[in-house]
Amino acid sequence: LFVLKYVRASHLLSFIGKYDYDLVVIGGGSGGLACSKEAAQLGQNVAVLDYVEPSIKGTKWGLGGTCVNVGCIPKKLMHQAALLGTAVKDAKKYGWQIPEPISHDWAAMAEAVQNHVRSLNWGHRVQLQDKKVKYLNMRGSLVDEHTVKGVTKAGKETILTAKNIVIATGGRPKYPTDIPGATEHGITSDDIFWLRKSPGKTLVVGASSDVALECAGFLTGIGLDATVMVRSIALRGFDQQMAALVTDYMETYGTKFAWKCIPKRVEKMPSGALQVTWTDLNTSKEQQDTYDCVLWAVGRAPETKILGLDKLGVQVSKETGKLIVHPDESTSVPIYAFGDIAEGRPELTPTAIKAGKLLAHRLAGRSTELMNYHNVPTTVFTPLEYGCVGLSEEDAEKRHGKDRIEVYHAFYKPLEFTVAERDASQCYLKVVCEGDGGQKILGLHFTGPNAGEVTQGFALSLKCGATYSHLLQTVGIHPTCAEEVIKVNITKRSGLDATVTGC
C-alpha cells in the first residue's frame, strides 16, 4: 500500500508536471557528483543520495566513491611512496649521502593518505552545499521511473520524486565464492588503503585487472614481500606485449609471480598466518605457502542489489549484471545510468565525470552532445608505468588486418636511469597506425616514467585525428622520454633493431 500510494502520486505529479526535484542521482561517486553539480549549475533542482555499505571487513569511508576513497587517489599516493623508495636508492649514485638502513613506516604513510582522503570527503560535502545540491546519506532504490525511496542507516524512509532519475552507483570488488576461507581471511582493494598496520607478506590473487599489479607494485616498492598469483593473463584487455613488459619489469623489481596457478583454499594457522593452497596448472600439483595478508583482485561487481531494478523491468546484462544503456545513457525504462554500472563503458573515473556532465546538459535541455567513448586514455600505475590510448596492436589487427597496419616502435633509456645504472630493458613505446593513406594513428602505447603525463597530450592528438606524419613534423622537448614518441621511425615489419642510440 505504501509503494502503491507513492506510485499513484508520482503519476499524478507527472500529469501536472510537478516533482520534488528536477534530477535525483543515486550514487555519490565521481560521476554522480559531477552530474549533480553540473545540473545544479544549469539551474536544476538536484538531490544526490549516497550510502557506503561497509566492506565485509568493516572498512568504511566518506563521500566521493571508489576513486577518492579506495581507488585512484590512495593508490597513486602509495605508488608515489614506492617511487620515492626507488629514488632514495638512485640518489646515492647522484652523490647523496644517505645513512643506512632505510626503512618504511606503513602507519605514517597510511595516516597521511587517509587524512588527505578525508579532506576530499569534506571538500565534496562543501561543494554540494555551495552549489545547492541536496545531499542525502541514504540508500536509494527505485519505486518507479520518477520516484526514489531513500533509507537512512537507522531505517527511516524518505520518498523523493524527480523529473529524471540517474543511477551512478558504480561497483565493488568481488570475492571468489568457490574458495574456502577466501571471504573470512582475505581483503580487497576496499580495505588495503585503510589498513592501520602493514599488511606484511602479501599474496595478491588476480592480475587481469590493473589494481592487482598496482597494489603488488607499491607493496614491493615499500619493501614488503609481495606475490601475484595469475590464473591466465595479466592486464586483460590491454596490449599484451605491453602487459608482458610491465610484469617483466615488476619481476626484476622484486615482485614474485605465480603463473598459471589457481587458489584452492585459505586457512588461518594458530600463529595467525594464512596458509594458502593452490594448484599449479603447469605441473598439476598442489602447493602451499603462508602469508600475512591475502588480497583478492579478481574483478568488480556492479552495485545493483538494493536498486529495485527488477520491479521496473530495467534490462541488465546476464553476464555482468550491469545496466544495458543506449548512447545517451538511457536504460530500457525512462531512467538513466552511466559510469561503472553501465554495460560496455570503461571503468575509469574521468570517463564517468565527462559522461555525467554531458548527461546533465542533455537532461537540462542545453545540449544534445553524447559522450564519445572512443580513444579514452588510461595509465596503469605499476612500478614501470604503462600509458595507452586507442587500439592495442591485437585489436588493430582484428579490425584492419595485420597487413593493413604499420607499427612503429622503440626501446629507449630514460636519461634519469643512466647515472642511477637502472635497467631500462622494458622502457618501450609503439605507435600503431593505418598502413596506407596518411597513416592515421590508431593506438599509442608507452612504458616508462610518468607514463600518464606523457600519454595525456598524445590522447589529445588522437582526438584531433593525428597521423604518423604529424609526429614527424613535431619538434621534441629535449631531453625527455616523451620526445622518443615523435622520433620513432623503426617499423616492426622491417625487423631492424629498435633500440634508440645517442642522447
Q: What is the CATH number of the domain that holds 344?
A: 3.50.50.60
Q: Is residue 229 situated within a structural domain?
A: yes
Q: Report yes or no: 133 and 36 within 8 Å, Cβ to Cβ.
A: yes
CATH classification of the domain holding 452:
3.30.390.30
So what's the pLDDT on residue 437? 85
If DSSP codes are grouped into helix, strand and coil, which group holds residue 41? helix
Among the listed residues 46, 23, 36, the one whose alpha carbon sits nearest the alpha carbon of residue 124 = 36
Looking at the structure, tell me whether residues 107 and 40 fall in a common domain: yes
Half-sphere exposure of 408 (CA within 13 A, CB side): 23
494/377 Cα distance (integer angstroms): 28
Among the listed residues 46, 225, 24, the one whose alpha carbon sits nearest the alpha carbon of residue 133 = 46
- Using one digit for the tens of pLDDT, what is the confidence trace for 220-278? 999 999 999 999 999 999 999 999 999 999 999 999 999 999 999 999 999 999 999 99
Looking at the structure, tell me whether residues 59 and 154 fall in a common domain: yes
Q: Is residue 284 situated within a structural domain?
A: yes
Among the listed residues 202, 189, 173, 210, the one whose alpha carbon sits nearest the alpha carbon of residue 385 = 210
Q: Is the peptide bond before 199 cis (omega within 30 degrees of 0)?
A: no
Determine how many CB atoms are found less than 10 A away from the CB of residue 112.
12
Boundaries of domain holding 246: 174-299
Q: Report yes or no: 139 and 167 within 8 Å, Cβ to Cβ.
A: no
Q: Is residue 373 situated within a structural domain?
A: no
Contacts of 467 (CB under 8 A, 6+ apart): 433, 438, 439, 440, 441
So what's the pLDDT on residue 16? 52
Looking at the structure, tell me whether residues 30 and 159 fall in a common domain: yes
The letter for the amino acid at 469 is S
Looking at the structure, tell me whether residues 137 and 213 fall in a common domain: no
So what's the pLDDT on residue 3? 47
Q: Is residue 83 situated within a structural domain?
A: yes
Looking at the structure, tell me whether residues 193 and 312 fall in a common domain: no
Looking at the structure, tell me whether residues 25 and 162 fall in a common domain: yes
Contacts of 441 (CB under 8 A, 6+ apart): 390, 431, 432, 433, 461, 462, 466, 467, 468, 470, 471
60/103 Cα distance (integer angstroms): 29
Q: Is residue 499 situated within a structural domain?
A: no
Looking at the structure, tell me whether residues 344 and 426 fall in a common domain: no
- Using one digit for the tens of pLDDT, what is the confidence trace for 158-216? 999 999 999 999 999 999 999 999 999 999 999 999 999 999 999 999 989 899 999 99
Q: Output DSSP code: residue 145.
A: T
380/451 Cα distance (integer angstroms): 8
- Using one digit for the tens of pLDDT, what is the confidence trace for 343-388? 999 999 999 999 999 999 999 999 999 999 999 999 999 999 999 9
Contacts of 64 (CB under 8 A, 6+ apart): 28, 29, 30, 33, 117, 120, 121, 124
1/439 Cα distance (integer angstroms): 65
Looking at the structure, tell me whether residues 339 and 425 fall in a common domain: no
Looking at the structure, tell me whether residues 181 and 103 fall in a common domain: no
Kindly list the catalytic residues.
478
Residue 454 grid coordinates: 606523457
Looking at the structure, tell me whether residues 97 and 193 fall in a common domain: no
pTM above 0.75, yes or no: yes
| DSSP per position, 50-103 | ---PPPTT-----TTHHHHHHSHHHHHHHHHHHHHHHHHHHHHHTT---PSPP-
So what's the pLDDT on residue 11? 55
Half-sphere exposure of 492 (CA within 13 A, CB side): 16
Which of 299, 320, 352 corresponds to the end of one domain? 299
Looking at the structure, tell me whether residues 188 and 275 fall in a common domain: yes
Looking at the structure, tell me whether residues 225 and 133 fall in a common domain: no
- Using one digit for the tens of pLDDT, what is the confidence trace for 41-100? 999 999 999 999 999 999 999 999 999 999 999 999 999 999 999 999 999 999 999 999
Which of 310, 334, 364 corresponds to the end of one domain? 364
Q: Is residue 52 situated within a structural domain?
A: yes
Q: Is residue 221 situated within a structural domain?
A: yes
381/379 Cα distance (integer angstroms): 6
Number of domains, the chain: 3
So what's the pLDDT on residue 162? 98
Q: Is residue 500 situated within a structural domain?
A: no
